């Protein structure tokens, strides 16, 4: 018998992870969005409600990240039935934690479970990407791919994306501090220069390669030395009050590296487990000194991506 109603959960993400602009991201345990989807006789995609946020998000499917992902899926598959969804936001809006991506991913994973012959996750990736584009104005995958697959994920290519889960050294924790301010992804992308100095490209390339090599070989010293984003972070950090002090607080308390999660304003730090609490306290205090209260999470780099949680 056909499944009539399904709920899927998709985790929040750090994407990009500093040095991998638009291509490298990882999941955050415990925080995420849920989407319930049910078959309807009426064709098309409808959004019955959005909970978990006081902000008004569009209920028109073509203007909503989850709705647009499903429009793209329904069109490509010529779905013989309509889909009605309800979105429950667990990820703060405009936080840099991949909220728009998570809604799009949860929507396609839930709708996929309604199909008589469900698709593979790699086939769902492109539909979710179309949803993310509604929110940020461009197609990028550094939030979508880890939210879908789980773990630290590198994506190569846009038209025919390939993804690779990168191993993370055991015991690594990610400290995330979200100051209470809203950051528009479109605006944080608009301010970026369109040209980059060759020397910065060389430095950034070396750092990305070094970071990945460090992850594959459990070389924490290499990860620490390679963590620096020399292209995007210097441009965006001016949008986050106190960023320099927060980063300094993380580094002086033992972080391996610290940068902006996605478009910000959440700031994240990687560290060994024993340092996580001290780093978290110091980062929150540094934001407080700039009159910003914060939420925070300490997360393992979870390897579990989006999944059906109720059907």
Q: Tokens for 106?
A: 């949860």
Minimal distance, residue 219 CB to ligand HSE, in Å = 26
Residue 189 touching ligand HSE (CB under 6 A): yes
CA angle 38, 127, 125 (to 5 degrees): 110
- In 3D space, the residue among 257, 272, 254 whose CA is nearest the CA of residue 169 turns out to be 272
Residue 15 touching ligand HSE (CB under 6 A): yes
Minimal distance, residue 217 CB to ligand HSE, in Å = 26
Residue 22 touching ligand HSE (CB under 6 A): yes
Please say which residue, 75 or 235, places its beta carbon nearer to ligand HSE.
235
Please say which residue, 79 or 104, places its beta carbon nearer to ligand HSE.
104
Q: Tokens for 273?
A: 């487990």
> Closest residue to ligand HSE, Cβ-based?
262
- In 3D space, the residue among 301, 285, 295, 289 whose CA is nearest the CA of residue 265 turns out to be 295
Are 255 and 265 in contact by the 8 Å Cβ rule? The answer is no
Please say which residue, 86 or 262, places its beta carbon nearer to ligand HSE.
262
**Full DSSP string of 190-219:** HTS-S---HHHHHHHHHHHHHHHHHHHHT-
Q: How many CA atoms lie within 13 A of 305 on its CB side?
A: 25
Interface residue with ligand HSE among 36, 95, 185, 266 (CB under 6 A) is 185
Spatial separation of the C-alpha atoms in residues 111 and 197, rounded to whole Å:
44
Q: Give burial (CB, 10 Å; 0-12/13-18/19+) of 161.
A: middle
Residue 263 touching ligand HSE (CB under 6 A): yes
Write each residue from 119 to 158 as x if it is in contact with ligand HSE (CB under 6 A), else as -, in one continuous string: -----------------x---x-xx---------------
Minimal distance, residue 218 CB to ligand HSE, in Å = 27
Spatial separation of the C-alpha atoms in residues 278 and 97, rounded to whole Å:
22
Residue 262 touching ligand HSE (CB under 6 A): yes
Please say which residue, 38 or 140, places its beta carbon nearer to ligand HSE.
140
What is the H or E stretch that residue 105 is in?
helix 99-114
Please say which residue, 83 or 97, places its beta carbon nearer to ligand HSE.
97
Residues found near ligand HSE in the complex (CB under 6 A): 15-16, 22, 136, 140, 142-143, 185, 188-189, 262-263
């Amino acid at each position: 018998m056909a499944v009539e109603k399904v709920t899927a959960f998709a985790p929040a993400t750090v994407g990009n992870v500093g040095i991998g602009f638009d291509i490298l991201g990882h999941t955050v345990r415990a925080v995420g969005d849920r989407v319930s989807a049910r078959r309807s006789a009426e064709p098309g995609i409808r959004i019955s409600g959005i909970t978990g946020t006081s902000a008004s998000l569009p209920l028109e499917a073509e203007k909503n990240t989850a709705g647009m992902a499903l429009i793209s899926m329904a069109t490509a598959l010529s779905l013989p039935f309509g889909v009605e969804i309800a979105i429950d936001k667990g990820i703060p809006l405009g936080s840099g934690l991949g909220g728009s991506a998570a809604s799009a991913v949860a929507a396609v994973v839930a709708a996929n479970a309604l199909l008589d012959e469900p698709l593979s996750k790699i086939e769902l990736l492109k539909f979710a990407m179309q949803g993310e584009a509604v929110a940020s104005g461009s197609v990028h995958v550094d939030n979508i791919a880890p939210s879908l697959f789980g773990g630290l994920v590198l994506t190569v290519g846009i038209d025919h994306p390939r993804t690779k889960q990168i191993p993370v050294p055991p015991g690594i924790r990610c400290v995330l501090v979200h100051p209470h301010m809203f950051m528009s992804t479109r605006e944080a992308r608009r301010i970026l220069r369109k040209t980059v100095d060759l020397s910065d490209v060389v430095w950034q390339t070396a750092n990305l390669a070094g970071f990945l090599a460090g992850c594959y070989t459990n070389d924490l010293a290499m990860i620490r030395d390679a963590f620096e984003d020399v292209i995007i972070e210097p441009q965006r950090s001016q949008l986050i009050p106190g960023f320099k002090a927060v980063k300094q607080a993380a580094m002086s308390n033992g972080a391996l590296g610290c940068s902006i999660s996605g478009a910000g304003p959440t700031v994240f730090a990687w560290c060994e487990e024993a340092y996580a609490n001290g780093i978290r306290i110091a980062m929150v205090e540094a934001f407080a000194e700039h009159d910003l209260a914060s939420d925070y999470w300490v997360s393992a780099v979870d390897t579990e991506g989006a999944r059906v949680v109720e059907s």
